């Protein structure tokens, strides 16, 4: 079976533990969401998230081990998200992982959460390097050329909001439930994407950078104009705004992906992050990949959104390249994945803000 790793993830609002084998078998994957805890606040409250992680992490690990039918002694290592993310949550995970490693004598491997997402296609489909990863989630949006387990080149990314964040904010301003992505996608099904003229931010500029905050503001303006003119929003207004917003996001992401593939041709375009669940975005990306002569790969949704299987897998990949962390492994709120910065960042020499 090869190496077997426990993975621990607690960087945002999902508490997760998983047991993954080097042969790509996921022996267990437990994800405990916190949506209900944050519902009343319209977003993730870091302090509430941190406490919930601290309360649940050990139970998630116990459950994952039970599901896999294993004890710590049966494992070969413990991998944990050491950043980037909400620092209280990351700390909870790192402290637990250190405790487990110290108590069991297992090696400890600190994993970059983004590397977890970026390496997921190797876990799900065993694809070779290189490939292009479009990471689109509630907190992240970037194009990464992946050439090795620790060899990432960022070709571009958002200069403001992440697309998932924009979906969430649009849902909020239209009175739809959180998380906003699925709600906006559902509303968009009966909407006319051409009714409202919404911007296509940064399409006029070269390169692969993206921006979503102006698009969200444009939706807000249209909403306010409708409310002022007719005293409120009709169901159809909501549907049309959602459809228009979603079409703009898909169009901009597709065009920037086309540029990224032109800039750095690779055989496979892969996507990860919660927004990868969006069907119209998937269709647009599939078309771009086909045009560029690349395969399109979208891992199953449960492995696209935050989970610990991807952390265990990234831990195995890092361990195979010789990475071992000690009890001084730092939890880091920021931790870019760029190839140039990777060696120093891996050693934690740049401090928390790097
Ligand atoms: O990757 P993820 O679970 O968490 C992180 O942000 O790391 O992504 C969650 C994000 C949320 O913003 C959610 O609204 C968005 O993914 N999302 C979607 C869809 N499903 C989830 N966005 C658009 N369409 C969807 N179907
Ligand atoms: Zn994530």
The tokens describing 122, both together, are 């190797």
pLDDT confidence of residue 351 = 30
C-alpha to C-alpha distances, 193 to 183, 198, 210, 222, nearest whole angstrom: 16, 9, 20, 13
Q: What are phi and psi of 289, to 5 degrees?
A: -60, -50
Residue carrying structure tokens 């790509």 = 24
* CATH 3.30.420.40 intervals, the chain: 4-119+305-352, 128-302
Q: What is the pTM of this model?
A: 0.90
The whole-angstrom separation of Cα 306 and Cα 187 is 24
The rounded Å distance from CA 169 to ligand 1 centre is 12
Written as tens digits, the pLDDT of the chain (354 aa) is 799 999 999 998 889 999 999 999 999 999 988 777 887 776 788 888 889 888 999 999 999 999 999 999 999 999 999 999 999 999 999 999 999 999 999 999 999 999 999 999 999 999 999 999 999 998 889 999 999 999 999 999 999 999 999 999 999 999 999 889 999 999 999 999 999 999 999 999 999 999 999 999 999 999 999 999 999 999 999 999 999 999 999 999 999 999 999 999 999 999 999 999 999 999 999 999 999 999 999 999 999 889 999 999 999 999 999 999 999 999 999 998 875 543 433 333 333 222
Residue carrying structure tokens 């993975």 = 7
Cβ of 181 less than 6 Å from ligand 1:
yes
Cβ of 180 less than 6 Å from ligand 1:
yes
| Atom nearest to 277 CA in ligand 1 | 26
The rounded Å distance from CA 181 to ligand 2 centre is 15
The tokens describing 157, both together, are 């990314």
Q: Which run of H or of E encompasses 155?
A: strand 151-157
The whole-angstrom separation of Cα 288 and Cα 258 is 6
Give the list of residues 6+ apart from residue 156 with CB closer than 8 angstroms, or none.
142, 143, 207, 208, 209, 210, 256, 260
Give the distance between the most distant pair of CA atoms in the chain.
67
Mutate to test the pocket of ligand 1, among 274, 299, 304 (most ligand atoms within 8 A of CB): 274
Q: What are phi and psi of 88, to 5 degrees?
A: -60, -40
Cβ of 12 less than 6 Å from ligand 1:
yes
Classify burial at 315, counting beta carbons within 10 Å of its beta carbon; exposed 0-12, middle 13-18, buried 19 or more: buried
Answer whether 192's CB lies under 8 Å from 243's CB. yes
For the CA atoms of 52, 168, 300, 90, the dihedral, rounded to the nearest 10 degrees, stands at -30
Answer whether 307's CB lies under 8 Å from 313's CB. no
CATH topology of domain 128-302: Nucleotidyltransferase; domain 5 (3.30.420)
Strand ranges across the sheet with 141-148: 151-157, 141-148, 131-136, 268-272, 295-297
Residue list, annotated binding site: 113, 117, 135-139, 168, 181, 185, 278, 306
pLDDT confidence of residue 176 = 95
The whole-angstrom separation of Cα 34 and Cα 14 is 6
The rounded Å distance from CA 334 to ligand 2 centre is 13
Give residue 197's Cα distance to chain centre: 29
Residue list, annotated binding site for substrate: 135-139, 168, 181, 185, 278
The rounded Å distance from CA 11 to ligand 2 centre is 8
Reply yes or no on domain 4-119+305-352 having CATH 3.90.220.20: no
The rounded Å distance from CA 273 to ligand 1 centre is 7
């Amino acid at each position: 079976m090869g190496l077997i790793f426990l993975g621990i993830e607690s960087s945002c609002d999902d508490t997760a533990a998983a047991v993954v084998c080097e042969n790509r078998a996921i022996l267990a994957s437990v994800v405990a969401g916190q949506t209900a805890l944050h519902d009343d606040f319209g977003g993730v409250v870091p302090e509430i998230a941190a406490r919930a992680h601290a309360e649940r992490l050990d139970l998630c690990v116990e459950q994952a081990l039970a599901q896999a039918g294993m004890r710590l002694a049966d494992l070969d290592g413990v991998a944990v998200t050491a950043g980037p993310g909400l620092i209280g949550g990351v700390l909870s995970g790192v402290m637990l992982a250190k405790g487990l490693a110290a108590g069991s004598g297992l090696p400890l491997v600190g994993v970059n959460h983004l590397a977890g997402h970026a390496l997921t296609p190797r876990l799900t489909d065993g694809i070779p390097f290189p490939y292009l990863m479009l990471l689109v989630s509630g907190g992240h949006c970037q194009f990464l050329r992946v050439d090795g387990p620790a060899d990432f080149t960022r070709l571009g990314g958002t200069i403001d909001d992440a697309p998932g964040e924009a979906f969430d904010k649009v849902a909020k301003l239209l009175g739809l439930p959180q998380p906003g992505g699925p709600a906006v996608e559902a509303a968009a099904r009966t909407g006319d994407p051409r009714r409202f003229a919404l911007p296509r931010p940064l399409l006029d500029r070269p390169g692969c950078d993206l921006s979503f905050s102006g698009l969200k503001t444009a939706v807000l303006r249209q909403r306010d104009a409708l409310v002022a003119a007719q005293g409120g929003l009709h169901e159809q207004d909501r549907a049309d705004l959602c459809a228009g917003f979603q079409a703009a996001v898909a169009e901009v992401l597709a065009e920037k992906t086309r540029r990224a593939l032109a800039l750095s041709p690779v055989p496979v375009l892969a996507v990860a992050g919660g927004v990868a669940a969006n069907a119209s975005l998937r269709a647009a990306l599939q078309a771009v990949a086909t045009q560029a002569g690349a395969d399109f790969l979208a891992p199953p949704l449960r492995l696209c959104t935050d989970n610990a299987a991807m952390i265990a897998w990234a831990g195995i990949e890092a361990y195979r390249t010789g990475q071992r962390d000690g009890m001084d492994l730092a939890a880091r709120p920021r931790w870019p994945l760029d190839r140039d910065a990777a060696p120093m960042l891996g050693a934690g020499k740049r401090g928390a803000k790097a």
